[in-house]
Amino acid sequence: MNPDSPESDRPTPSGDESPASPAPADPVTEQRPDATQPDVDGDSGPRPVDPPRRPGRTGATIVGVALALAVLGAPLGLLWAALAPDTPVLKTAEGAIYAEPQPEQPIAADGWFSLLGLAFGVLAALVLWFVLRRRRGPVGLLAAVLGTLAAAPVAWQVGRRVGLATFDRLLAGAPAGQAFTKPADLRAGGVDWLLGVLPVPHGNLLLPAFGAAVTYTLLAGWSRWPSLRPEPEPDPAALSWVSAGTPAPTAAPEPPAPGAAEPPRG
């Protein structure tokens, strides 16, 4: 080696004095940014993070909504009893019989209960959709179905007992041939007991739950948010950051007006 060369003036690194190599980056740290790190689009605020759901609070919400809807079944039954017509009957030695061979009042009572129950289910689903915004999804659907399913038997039992005491008194003490009316009751619905413990409604008692399930499902399908919960609207300025840096195209030169002087030619 030439001693006059510039490289000869540099000290030769020993084994202990080797140049330090850069520390390897942690891929997990680089790929998982902190939750409070601003977004790459320029958002200076932290990213919103939904709080974790607690199973106990979710169950309490479902039970509370179901109980509230079941209690609302009482005024629904009173409304049904007020709209459904009573059936005329005659007292005989064997009991009460219909005053008409084929009365229409029992059919009307079933029809009124079906319409009111279906409307009750639709209204319950709409109210829960807008009130329980943070519980939209399976929790809200389950609460609506269970609540309306419990409200239907309550409405039936409350409505059929309006005027039932008077009917039983006349049936027991009225003479044969006396005419009176029987309060509204259901013929197209009822409750069966599974194993003697679990009540299973059937018939038009299922219409409130059907209306609630269909309405809630349609609302979820029409929602514009993937999470079904209201989300903040994106900032238009953040969305247009790409187009903001692009220069606008220059307009084409206008043609010369007729009669204008032509530029001199070289």
Residue-level pLDDT, tens digit, the chain, 266 residues: 444 544 444 444 444 444 445 454 444 444 444 444 444 444 444 444 444 556 678 888 899 999 999 999 999 999 999 999 999 998 888 888 888 888 899 999 999 999 999 999 999 999 999 988 887 888 889 999 999 999 999 999 999 999 889 888 888 888 888 888 899 999 988 888 888 888 888 999 999 999 999 999 999 888 776 766 666 666 555 555 544 555 556 666 666 666 655 555 65
Is 159 in contact with 204 (CB distance < 8 Å)?
A: no
How does strand 179-182 pair with strand 87-91? antiparallel
Domain boundaries, the chain: 55-222
Single out the residue of 225, 222, 226 nearest to residue 214, CA to CA. Answer: 222
Classify residue 204 by its DSSP letter. G
pTM of the complete model:
0.65
